[in-house]
Structure 1
Amino acid sequence: MNVMAKAEKKISSAFIYFFGSFGGILFGYDIGVMTGALPFLQADWHLENAASLVGWITSAVMFGAIFGGALAGQLSDKFGRRKMILMSAIVFMVFSVLSGVSPDMGEASAYYLIIVRMLLGLAVGAASALVPAYMSEMAPAKARGRLSGLNQTMIVSGMLLSYVVDFLLKDLPGEWAWRLMLGLAAVPALILFLGVLRLPESPRFLLRKGDEAQARKVLSYIRKNPAEIDQELASIKETAKEERQANQKTSWSTLFSGKYRYLVIAGVGVAAFQQFQGANSIFYYIPLIVQKATGQAASSNLMWPIVQGVILVIGSLVYMWIADKFNRRTLLMVGGAVMGLSFILPAVINWMMPNMNPMTIVVFLCIYVAFYSFTWAPLTWVLVGEIFPLAIRGRASGLASSFNWIGSWLVGLIFPIMTASMPQEAVFAIFGIICILGVIFVKTCVPETRGHTLEEIEEQGTNRGRVKASNPEN
């Protein structure tokens, strides 16, 4: 027993935070890998004119993630965060390999890959829900902002990793290139599994199961002060008690009562706008976008995803620097305005100058990605984590996550269909209009959460509910 205790004691807080957030690498890798794999897959399976199948193959992961996140949240309350992260890593490994060995059976191959990627999406959605939950329960309160930034950095680093792997494999025979790109996703999943084997369970889950001694031991790994440990244990117990009472008093209809409606609409709306603004159309399809703009083969344009990935990583680091220096609303509105103009201006320029350099659109897409990377990408989840009162937090956060995944899935599905039927400048202009609508939404419907306690934010919702109740015509 003493040997085991000593072995556990060697777990450093840096190790816990690194592998606690490493699931973001999986999430990011699978968002990005299809970007490079798709041109080779299209050529190998002759899908160049099958826009709907291409959309389904690309978006199948996001469709599975809609259900994976909700399922993982419920199961983690029963079995623990750590066990569910381990299970997600196993599922990710299995279905990554099955994606890479897809049989060549004509059109049936596409349907096989769609189903396998949907099942893979269960693990992606689970990782996206479990990693922030685990990190928030392990991190000290003063470090939660920075560690939420670490999770975002891990996600975009996973995307960059997938873009680099795609680029390194691009000179292989086409039928091998895309299979290795998809199959190699099993490697970071294996690293995650081996790392999480040494991680402790969340102290909050341990307390919920009545194991206070083990919860205290886990906190001793990541807190320096015994008094701090005692204070945090007492705080966790009180919060758990309040959550149990809240869950007994609320239902889905509570979310849309006068008291909470304002905050629920704000949080869910921001989560939905983040995806419907079209960011994933760039992340999934940038080689095909460049191909359509320039006429160069998509498989020869795999340097562009790396450029996007580098911008995303730099942007995540910029966010960690400015996160607490500017209001949330200010960053969202400035970011959304620039993103919208980056999508709309190429269509305007092309209309005024039909001989516009085709790479102009790619330059504007880089500007879009730069502003997205330090505004809407990280801030959506910071705001969702802050805006919902305790009584509705579980249900409202799940609803926001579901709308976000639905938006991600729909953008991945319909973008190739839209670009097959209209100029891509027009498609991006539509997304640009949605960006501007998002700015208007933030201006009129979203409260400022920076520097406010959860109680103050809830009071804003309560006051807005009273105003609406007294002025129903508004």
Structure 2
Amino acid sequence: MNVMAKAEKKISSAFIYFFGSFGGILFGYDIGVMTGALPFLQADWHLENAASLVGWITSAVMFGAIFGGALAGQLSDKFGRRKMILMSAIVFMVFSVLSGVSPDMGGASAYYLIIVRMLLGLAVGAASALVPAYMSEMAPAKARGRLSGLNQTMIVSGMLLSYVVDFLLKDLPGEWAWRLMLGLAAVPALILFLGVLRLPESPRFLLRKGDEAQARKVLSYIRKNPVEIDQELASIKETAKEERQANQKTSWSTLFSGKYRYLVIAGVGVAAFQQFQGANAIFYYIPLIVQKATGQAASSNLMWPIVQGVILVVGSLVYMWIADKFNRRTLLMVGGAVMGLSFILPAVINWMMPNMNPMTIVVFLCIYVAFYSFTWAPLTWVLVGEIFPLAIRGRASGLASSFNWIGSWLVGLIFPIMTASMPQEAVFAIFGIICILGVIFVKTCVPETRGHTLEEIEEQGTNHGRVKASNPEN
């Protein structure tokens, strides 16, 4: 027992934060990998004119993630964040390999790959829900924005990794290229599994289960000040005590009770808007977007995803630098406004100057990605991780993740269908309008969370619920 205790004490806070957020690599890799694999898959299986099948193959992971996020959120409240992250890594490894070895069965091949990628999506959705919750519960309030932003850095690093892998494998025979691109996703999943084996459980989950001694030990890894540890334990215990006194039984209806409704709508709304704003249309289809704009073959445009990936990584680092210097709401509103204009202006310019350079839209897409990378991309997951009260955090985080993936799935599914029936500029203008609606939503429905403890944020929601109850006309 003493040997185990000594071994546990060797866990550094840097190790905990690194592998606590490493699940984002899986999330990011699978978002990005199909970008390069798709042109080769289309040629290998003759899907060039099958927009619906292409949409389903691309979006199947997101469809599975809808259910993976909700399921993992509920199970993590019962079994813990750490165990569910380990399970997600195993599922990801298995179905990544099965994607890479998809049999060529004629017309049935696409349906096999769609089903396997849906099952893979269970793990991707679980990671998207579990990592923000785990990181927010481990990070101190004063650094929660920056440390939770590690999740976004991991996501975009996973995307950039997949883009680089796609580029390096593009000269292989078409059949081998896309299979290796998809199958190599098992490697980061294995790394995640081995790293998380040494991670401790969340102190808030441990306290909720009555294990105060272990919760204190975990906090001692990541908090240097004993007084801070005592204060944080006392704050968490007080919240848990209030929940027990109320004999609260959490259910789906609990999420939308007067006490929690305000915070749940805010968190789930931001998560949904992030995807309906259309970012993943760029990430999944940028080679095809450039092909449609310039006439060049999509398989020869695999440098563009790398450009987008570099912008995303740089943006995530910018975010970590500014995360705790600016209010969350300010960054979301500024970012959303610029993103909306970046989508709308190409349509306006094309309407005024029908002979505009076709690469103009790609330039504006780069501007969109730059602002998305340090505003909506990281802040969505920071808010999801910190805005929900302890009693409903797992279930509410799962719901937010599911709505996020519903948006991602729909964008991935309908974008190739939309661009087959209308100009690209018009499609992006629609997404631009959604960006502006997102700004309005943040302005009117989202509270500020920067610098507040998780317990203070819960109190904001409780107070707002009381105000609504006493002033229903507001």
TM-score (norm 1): 0.92
Distance 2:247 2:71 in 1: 18
Task: State the distance in 2 between where 1:392 and 1:208 align.
Answer: 12
CA apart distance, 1:456: 6.9
CA contact (8 A) 2:69 2:399 kept: no
Question: Does the 8 Å CA contact 1:35/1:305 hold for their aligned counterparts?
Answer: yes
Residues 159-196 of structure 1, C-alpha deviations (whole Å, 9 max, x = no match): 11111111111111110000000000011111111112
Q: CA deviation at 1:469?
A: 6.4
Deviation at 1:387, TM superposition (A): 4.0
Greater shift after overlay, 336-345 or 110-119? 336-345
Match in the other structure for 1:300: 300
SS state at 2:397 partner: helix
Are the equivalent residues in 2 in contact too, given 1:260–1:465 (CA < 8 A)? yes
1:26 CA drift (Å): 0.8
Helix, strand or coil for the counterpart of 1:248?
coil
RMSD: 2.5
> Structure 1 pair 130/256, CA: closer, same or farther in 2 (3 Å)?
closer
| Partner secondary structure for residue 248 of structure 2 | helix
Checking the alignment, whether the CA contact within 8 Å between 2:125 and 2:402 is kept in structure 1 is no
User: CA 1:247/1:134 → structure 2, altered by over 3 Å: closer, same or farther?
Assistant: farther
Q: After the TM superposition, which of the residue ranges 323-332 and 169-178 deviates more from structure 2?
A: 323-332
CA distance in 2, matches of 1:225, 1:56: 51
By how many angstroms is 1:263 displaced? 4.0
Task: Quote how far apart the aligned CAs of 1:214 are.
Answer: 3.5
- Distance in 2 (CA, whole Å) between partners of 1:370 and 1:183 is 29
- The alignment partner of 1:103 has SS state of coil
Q: 8 Å contact 1:246–1:391 — kept in the other structure?
A: no
Once the two structures are superposed, what CA deviation does each residue of 1:122-166 show, in whole Å capped at 9, x if it has no partner? Answer: 111111122222223333333322211111111111111111111
Going from structure 1 to structure 2, the CA distance change for 1:386 and 1:297 (only over 3 Å counts) comes to same
Structure 1 residues 182 and 243: alpha-carbon distance in aligned structure 2, compared to 1, 3 A threshold:
farther
Q: Which moved more, 1:290-299 or 1:434-443?
A: 434-443
Deviations 1:17-75 (A, max 9, x none): 11111111111111111111111101100011111111111111111111111212222
Aligned partners of 2:26, 2:165: CA distance in 1, in Å?
14
Inter-CA distance 372–185: structure 2 relative to 1 (3 Å threshold): same
Give structure 1 stretches of 5+ with no counterpart: none
Q: Aligned with 1:53: secondary structure?
A: helix
CA contact (8 A) 1:267 1:400 kept: yes
SS at match of 1:355: coil
Whole-angstrom CA distance in 1 between matches of 2:388 and 2:67: 21
- Higher relative contact order (Cα pairs below 8 Å, separated by 6+ residues): 2
Aligned residues: 474
Query: For residues 247 and 380 of structure 2, what CA distance do their matches in structure 1 show?
Result: 25
Given the superposition, is the C-alpha separation of residues 103 and 239 from structure 1 closer, same or farther in structure 2, using an over 3 Å criterion?
Answer: same
Say if 2:349 and 2:356, in contact at 8 Å, map to a contact too. yes
Q: Indicate if the aligned counterparts of 1:246 and 1:392 stay in contact, CA closer than 8 A.
A: no
> In the aligned structure 2, how far is the partner of 1:297 from the partner of 1:246?
62
- Cα displacement (A) at 1:237: 3.0
Q: 1:245 deviation in Å?
A: 5.0
Cα displacement (A) at 1:230: 4.0
Q: CA deviation at 1:266?
A: 3.0
Query: CA 1:320–1:461 in structure 2 vs 1: closer, same or farther (change >3 Å)?
Result: same
Q: Shift in Å at residue 119 of structure 1?
A: 0.7
The structure-2 alpha-carbon separation of the partners of 1:461 and 1:132, relative to structure 1 and needing over 3 Å to count, comes to closer
1:95-138 deviation line (CA, Å, top 9, x unaligned): 10000000001121111001111111111111112222222333
Q: Which residue does 2:218 correspond to in 1? A: 218
Q: Is the contact between residue 58 and residue 413 of structure 1 (CA under 8 Å) also seen in structure 2?
A: yes
Displacement of 1:77 after TM fit?
A: 2.8
CA distance 1:268–1:140, shift in 2 (3 Å): closer
**Cα pair 2:136 2:386 within 8 Å, conserved:** no
With over 3 angstroms needed to count, the CA separation of the structure-2 counterparts of 1:459 and 1:209, relative to structure 1, is closer
Match of 2:76 in 1: 76
- Given that 2:129 and 2:397 are in contact with CA atoms closer than 8 Å, whether structure 1 keeps it comes out as no
Shifted more, 174-183 versus 419-428: the winner is: 419-428
Task: Kindly indicate whether the alpha-carbon contact (under 8 Å) linking 2:100 and 2:180 is maintained by their aligned counterparts in 1.
Answer: yes
* CA distance 1:455–1:237, shift in 2 (3 Å): closer
1:321 aligns with 2:321: yes
Q: 1:213 to 1:182 in 2, by over 3 A?
A: same
Percent pairwise identity: 99
User: Scaled by the length of structure 2, what TM-score is found?
Assistant: 0.92
**Deviation, structure 1 residue 240:** 3.1
CA deviation map 1:278-307 (0-9, x unaligned): 000001110110011111111111111111
